Structure 1
Amino acid sequence: MAKCPPRNDWFQRAPDVGGVQRFEAFFAGHGYNLHRHDTYAIGQTLAGVQSFQYRGGWRHSLPGGTLVLHPDEIHDGEAGTESGFHYRMMYIEPALIQQMLGGQPLPFIQTGLSSDPRLFAATGVLLRSLDAALDPLEEQDALFDLAQALNTVSGVTRARQSFDYVAAQRAREYIHSALERNVTLEELAQHSGRDRWSLSRDFRLLFGTSPYRYLTMRRLDRVRALLIQGQPLVNAALIAGFTDQSHMTRQFSKTYGLSPARWLKLQGR
């Protein structure tokens, strides 16, 4: 029997809107090295088997289910069969989920996979098509429904912890104002009105990652935007607040599982 000709990897990204990044991709074999990011990664496998390492084991996503990767959890991605895998995914800032849930520990799906139809339906609205933007009100309703579905389906009962959402939010806003310079935990504590170790704990609980990781990720967001605009790697690194290009490249590869050069190639650049 003749083998099917190899298919090329491809990646299509929709315009970022309101803290949500959406994309569609196909990988014939290996997709991503082990990496982590500080957003939720929520999506659906459209065809094939999407295999990945997550929380100490291999997971296999099939059409009809939902992937929910928690912020800052290490994972990778590859085809589970020779036919490759086709999927749509979105990255959602934990701060958005916080706004809809009123400031509480982030919902957590332990295995990274769910067969719950409520979560599949809520995710499907946001991933229905990347070719046309959703109506703003439709998108906001869909995000609210997704947050509620995540909270309901998470199935993890956690004891109520004492935390200061207002202080953590002040620290998050301060980070956004200081991307181009060094920021200390003492600075964040002074600005937020919370002692530094309580603030560090609260930040992780409420936003899914540490203050330093959050700062690094926002810098990498800026790097990607600058690269899309055509800036050279070295310029993008310095403008975004990294010490040099090699520092940025290390952080980029650790975060996305791809080098900046391969990421740009997948964008068609």
Structure 2
Amino acid sequence: MGLGMPRDLAADWTEYATAPEPGVELLRARMRRHVYERHAHDGYALGVTDWGVQAFRCRGGAHASTAGMVMAFNPDEPHDGHAGDDAGFAYRMLYIETAAVRAVLEDARERPGPLPFFAAPLIADPTAGLLVARTHALLTTSSSRLERDAAFSAMIRRLAAHGGLGTEPRAAGRHDRALDRVRERLHADAATEVATAELAALASMSRYELCRQFHRRFGLPPHAYQLRLRLAEAKRLLAAGEPAAEVAAAAGFVDQSHLNRRFKGAFGITPVQFARAVQQSGGQFGSGPT
């Protein structure tokens, strides 16, 4: 709660908070020089550009979001981000657990159903843009619970109408079982170093073929997928109050400097800023942006 308006509009700045309701994290930033590394989130990442040109790559294509446009990233969808020109841009994002989205849509449908899948990561809908901005503002101020709930529900329902339902169709591949074994190995112990050769042997593929097929299946090559898991674990430990230096070691980073660099590259904030935001919110923390 409580994202304020920074005074220095010439410099890069980032503000981060967790919402009063579990399962939602909030980011507001102004960027000129910072470049987001390619990363993905466990849940939905929904945002709006306030001003400027916000450039990013997603699904192999280049995109540019301008004032009022909505960015809608599906869970596990890799993307990056940077300024589209020298003036930079300002934007706000909501990182939302899938359970929170499902609850709104099931309430609206009055029955279970599939989660939305956004066919394009950029939506030109002024009404949706206003709903995202308003919901973000209400979740960072002392608004009533009823007002927050109404705004959040309206935002999700409007954007879900753009996304359609279900997941992107994908034909089963002959390598799926082998790639699933590699993915399970990474999830089992993300902090421990593992050689590409070991993963390739597990999948009965060459190292080149493994990297190519894994990237095609999960959107990230094995090393980037492992980094995503390590960052998610770092967030969990930081939210629990663990010191950053100990978190770095436990999550598999070389040292605290390495953690700081990769954390900032993915999320736009430092581990200390993240931990402080969680503490100020009373310790509420969801899966959030990973």
TM over 0.5: yes
> Offset of 1:91 from its aligned partner?
0.6
Q: 1:182-201 maps to which residues of 2 (within 5 A)?
A: none
> Separation in 1 of the partners of 2:168 and 2:261?
36
Change (3 A) 1:258 1:140: same
The yes-or-no answer on 1:222 pairing with 2:230 is: no
2:131 aligns with one of 116, 119, 122: 122
Q: 1:112-191 maps to which residues of 2 (within 5 A)?
A: 112-128=121-137, 132-155=141-164
Change (3 A) 1:140 1:99: same
The yes-or-no answer on 1:235 pairing with 2:250 is: no
1:89 aligns with one of 93, 100, 103: 93
On the 8 A contact 1:234/1:244 being kept in 2, the answer is no
**Identity percentage over the alignment?**
30
> Offset of 1:32 from its aligned partner?
0.5
Q: 1:70-81 maps to which residues of 2 (within 5 A)?
A: 70-81=74-85
The yes-or-no answer on 1:14 pairing with 2:17 is: yes
> Offset of 1:249 from its aligned partner?
8.7
> Separation in 2 of the partners of 1:65 and 1:58?
15
> Separation in 2 of the partners of 1:267 and 1:21?
10
1:73 counterpart SS class:
coil
> Separation in 2 of the partners of 1:219 and 1:157?
28
On the 8 A contact 1:12/1:267 being kept in 2, the answer is no
Q: 1:26-105 maps to which residues of 2 (within 5 A)?
A: 26-102=30-106, 103-105=112-114
> Separation in 1 of the partners of 2:19 and 2:140?
13
Q: Which residue is equivalent to 1:111?
A: 120
The yes-or-no answer on 1:257 pairing with 2:232 is: no
Change (3 A) 1:131 1:255: closer
> Separation in 1 of the partners of 2:230 and 2:113?
24
> Separation in 1 of the partners of 2:129 and 2:71?
9
> Offset of 1:41 from its aligned partner?
1.1
> Offset of 1:108 from its aligned partner?
2.0
On the 8 A contact 2:131/2:151 being kept in 1, the answer is yes
Change (3 A) 1:216 1:243: closer
Amino acid at match of 1:108: F
Shifted more, 139-148 versus 57-66: the winner is 139-148
On the 8 A contact 1:253/1:259 being kept in 2, the answer is no
CA RMSD of aligned residues (A): 3.9
Change (3 A) 1:265 1:37: same
Equivalent residues, number: 211
TM-score by length of 1: 0.63
> Offset of 1:111 from its aligned partner?
2.0
1:128 counterpart SS class:
helix
TM-score by length of 2: 0.59
2:49 counterpart SS class:
strand
Change (3 A) 1:214 1:244: closer
Shifted more, 214-223 versus 12-21: the winner is 214-223
> Offset of 1:94 from its aligned partner?
0.9
